[in-house]
Amino acid sequence: MAVCPRFLLILFVALSRASAEPTEDRAALLDFISKTLHSNRIQWDPAASACDWTGVTCDPKRSSVVALRLPAAGLLGSVPNGTLARLSSLRVLSLHSNRLSGPLPSDLSSLSSLRHLYLQDNRFSGGFPPWIPALTHLTRLDLSENVFDGEVPFAVNNLTRLTGLFLQRNRFSGELPSIAIQKLVSFNVSDNQLNGPIPESLARFPASSFAGNLALCGGPLPPCTNPIFPSPTPAPSSGAPKSSSKLSMAAIIGISVAAGAVVLVLLLAVILWCAIRRKRGKRVERPKPAASLPSGEGETGGTVTSWSSKDTGSGIGERANKRLTFVEGTGYSFDLEDLLRASAEVLGKGSMGTSYKAVLEEGTIVVVKRLKDVAASRKEFEAHAQVLGRLPEHENVLPLRAYYYSKDEKLVIYDYLPAGSLYALLRGSRGTGRTLLDWGGRLKVAMAAARGLSHIHNSARMPHGNVKASNILLRDDPSSAAVSDFGLTPFFGSSGHPPPRFVGYRAPEFIETRRPTFKSDVFSFGVLLLELLTGRSPNQTSFGADEGADLPRWVQSVVREEWTAEVFDGELVRSHPGVEDDMVQVLQVALACVSTMPDSRPDMAEVVRMIEEILSRSEFADGLRHSSEDSSKGSPPSK
Ligand SMILES: *[C@@H]1O[C@H](CO)[C@@H](O)[C@H](O)[C@H]1NC(C)=O
Ligand SMILES: *[C@@H]1O[C@H](CO)[C@@H](O)[C@H](O)[C@H]1NC(C)=O
Ligand SMILES: *[C@@H]1O[C@H](CO)[C@@H](O)[C@H](O)[C@H]1NC(C)=O
């Protein structure tokens, strides 16, 4: 009798061992990975539990696999039939940013518990997978950046729980069905070959959700001219017509010839126009018109529009006898007159005013920031400008060089750094194949910005007040990047900081009080780190499924659901195998900075220490492991 309990115990242990491994799912996973080419980053140890494999998440009882996340894992070729479909409890399937191709196997229709399906940024082709509308639990579906074609089926309406539907950058054609899913908050079909009217049920989404199609109209786009909308004319640039097209050969030839002729005529017109302009330009250039700074109204920072001579500005020319005040120790020798004669180019427009690149006649280049809605009196303005000018020099801070105050114009002048801003670098080079700021570079820029801010906090004893990517200016060496535009808030008087067009970087308490503090700078810096990690702009209007979510909240929600790797910039992860370790550490710093409670945020000096520490241990710091070419474009990864 005494043997009995012991026997039961052994039996129990044996049973719980057995149930601690999702045996069938494990077999399915092994089947999948053995049939799919992949990089050697996926090494599933047969001796370990499948629940501990990279990218695999089990339920708490470890009895089944509930999530498979293999983003940017170098997966290549088609998804094998009869493998993933066996993961019957799967809720999340993320295979984005790989090089998977071909049609998706139809047996995936058996994944009836699936909530999130991320297949973007692959080379999947074929029609809209007909089995997807049967996955009625789906809340997010991302098929963007593939080569799917054919029509978007009306049956997507079966997905009543869907909050995000991303079909952009494919080759979907035909008309949009009337998709009326109430929970849908994010929707994008841009850059396809759709035509016809935008259904009323979708008209609430912004124009950018529909941009880049053949001939969509109505809703946020210009109205459809004809109630029976005109048949689509292929855009001249959209490549060869597909063979599945119902147009006859003659029609195709006719349209092509017509389109070609139109392009030719346009091209000739442009060339002619340019030639005439150049001639005229030459004639007019010599007697320089009384120069004035171009005027510009609120826009986001960082865009460069070229200086237009048509622009009359609000002439400060008449009062040009006023004095420009240089901050002590500045090597510059020019006056307001020179500045007014300089050629100017808009660098960016923000809530505080517009920045110009001014090229003086003797070749000096400076940045002139024209402040708008300044409330400070002349005395207050000059006193504060002097304070700004007295900040001890620091490599990572761009100092104020000069300022100007008159009734109509308030200017502050800085050095010009030709490498441009972090904003321009992060936005400008995306997807163009030009060099992306590599991870080591990003870490160094982050460290430089943190050091600059820490200097402003500790030497000037004032908050920066406007930390954002367009105020981080780069130099050739990323660790010499400099923070600009600090401490301007007092110019705007007792009403506080001007309300920004975008609140992306603002701490919650700053949005309310409009008074920056050290801790609100720390918050903004945390957002900047998130921007470096995710490659996403905080001024984007929608993040994830939550309406009104901002970048910090989006990242927090994703991280809470343990999809840490999903937030990272795919381009970066792909070009730097093994970078996630570093990224996770920086993510922790960033999340501490964006705490809702100011008191729980670290101060800038601590942030500097943390980033220096990460940088000192990073194997990417010296560009040693920067291998964007061989990992993304080179030979297919070995099995
Ligand atoms: C996948 O397998 C099922 C049955 O096992 C079969 O009916 C189907 O045609 C296969 N699909 C492909 C694409 O091979
Ligand atoms: C969509 O739902 C309807 C009704 O529930 C059903 O008859 C239809 O088969 C479903 N379509 C797809 C493609 O699942
Ligand atoms: C839709 O996707 C395009 C990329 O193709 C992007 O530029 C645009 O901002 C997106 N629009 C929305 C509303 O997300």
Tell the residue nearest (CA) to atom 5 of ligand 2: 158
Query: What's the pLDDT band for 246 if we cut at 50, 70, 90?
Result: very low
User: Given a cut of 50, is residue 604 above it in pLDDT?
Assistant: yes
Query: Which of 209-213, 264-268, 307-311, 347-351 bottoms out in mean pLDDT, i.e. has the lowest?
Result: 307-311
For ligand 1, the distance from its centroid to the CA atom of residue 83, given in whole angstroms, is 11
- For the chain, the average pLDDT equals 77
Helix, strand or coil, per DSSP, at residue 472: strand
- Whether residue 522 contacts residue 604, with contact meaning beta carbons closer than 8 Å, is answered with yes
Q: Regarding the domain delimited by 423-632, which CATH topology (the fold level of the hierarchy) does it fall under?
A: Transferase(Phosphotransferase); domain 1 (1.10.510)
- Whether 102 has a pLDDT exceeding 50, the answer reads yes
Please report the beta strands in 291-399, taking only residues with DSSP state E, as ranges in sequence order: 325-326, 343-349, 353-359, 365-371
pLDDT higher than 90, residue 444: yes
Cβ–ligand 1 distance for 596 under 6 Å, the answer: no
What residues does ligand 3 touch, defined as CB less than 6 Å away? Answer: 168-169, 188, 190-191, 206, 208-209
| Residue 105 alpha carbon, nearest atom of ligand 1 | 13
Rounded CA separation 169/190 (Å): 6
Would the CB of 325 count as within 6 Å of ligand 2?
no
- Distance (angstroms) between ligand 3 centre and the Cα of 542 equals 10
What's the 86 CA to ligand 2 centre distance in angstroms?
A: 23
| Torsion of Cα atoms, 77 then 83 then 86 then 89, to 10° | -40
The answer to whether the beta carbons of residues 13 and 20 sit under 8 Å apart is: no
Lowest mean pLDDT among 28-32, 274-278, 329-333: 274-278
What pLDDT shows up at residue 637?
36
CA of 338 from ligand 2 middle (Å) equals 72
DSSP state for residue 51 in the 8-state scheme:
G
How far the first Cα of the chain sits from its last, in Å, is: 56
- Residue 541 is given by DSSP the state S
Which of 142-151, 191-200, 409-418, 424-433 has the weakest average pLDDT? Answer: 424-433
Contact 525, 595 (CB under 8 A): no
List phi, psi (to 5°) of 65: -85, 125
| pLDDT score of 634 more than 70 | no
C-beta of 107 in contact with ligand 1 (< 6 A)? yes
Kind of pairing between the strands at 92-94 and 65-69: parallel
Name the phi and psi angles at 348, rounded to 5.
Answer: 180, 155
| Ligand 2 pocket residue status of 133, Cβ below 6 Å | yes
Residue 103: which pLDDT band, with cuts at 50, 70 and 90? Answer: very high
Nearest ligand to the CA of 132 is 2
Q: Which atom of ligand 3 is nearest to the CA of 169?
A: 5
What pLDDT band is residue 179 in, cutting at 50, 70 and 90? very high
CA gap 100, 126 in Å, rounded: 13
What is the model's pLDDT at position 290? 35
Q: Which residue's alpha carbon is at the smallest distance from atom 9 of ligand 3?
A: 208
pLDDT over 90 (residue 8): no
Taking Cα atoms as reference points, which of 387, 398, 410, 415 lies closest to residue 324? 410
Choose the residue to mutate in 144, 166, 168, 216 for probing ligand 3, maximizing ligand atoms within 8 Å of C-beta.
168
pLDDT at 535: 83
Burial pattern 171-189, b for ≥16 Cβ within 10 A else e, equals bbbbbbbebebeebbbbbb
pLDDT of residue 154: 93
Confidence of residue 538 (pLDDT cuts 50, 70, 90): confident
Compute the distance from residue 149 Cα to the ligand 1 centre, in Å: 21
**pTM value > 0.85:** no
Q: Is the pLDDT of residue 287 over 60?
A: no
Each residue's pLDDT tens digit, 22-62: 999 999 999 999 988 887 777 888 888 999 898 899 988 88
- Contact indicator for 531, 551 with CB cutoff of 8 Å: yes
Ligand nearest to the CA of 129: 2
The DSSP annotation for 98-164 comes to SEEEEPPPGGGGG-TT--EEE--SSEEEEES-TTGGG-TT-SEEE--SSEEEEPPPGGGGG-TT-SE
- Confidence label for 20 from pLDDT (cuts 50, 70 and 90): confident
- 364 CA to centre of own chain: 34
How far apart, in whole angstroms, are the C-alpha atoms of residue 22 and residue 59?
10
Buried b (16+ CB within 10 A) or exposed e, 570-592: bbbbbbbbebbebbebbbebbbb
Backbone angles phi, psi at 337, to 5 degrees: -55, -45
Closest CA to 532 of 630, 633, 617, 615: 615
Task: Give whichever of 19-28, 203-212, 226-235, 372-381 has the largest mean pLDDT.
Answer: 203-212
**Chain segment 396-425, per-residue pLDDT in tens:** 999 998 998 888 888 999 989 888 889 888
80 pLDDT band (50/70/90 cuts)? very high
**Cβ 177 vs Cβ 197: under 8 Å:** no
CB 81 less than 6 A from any atom of ligand 1: yes
Model pLDDT, residue 54: 86
User: pLDDT digit string (tens) for 544-585?
Assistant: 555 556 888 888 877 776 666 778 887 788 777 778 888 888
Q: Which of 110, 111, 158 to mutate to test the pocket of ligand 2 (most atoms within 8 A of CB)?
A: 158
What confidence tier does 633 reach under pLDDT thresholds 50, 70, 90? Answer: very low
303-415 placed in CATH 3.30.200.20: yes
Residues 541 and 186: beta-carbon distance below 8 Å: no
Name the residue ranges covered by the structural domains of the chain.
17-217, 303-415, 423-632
Q: Out of 2.60.40.1180, 3.40.50.970, 3.40.50.300, 3.80.10.10, which CATH number does the structure's domain 17-217 have?
A: 3.80.10.10
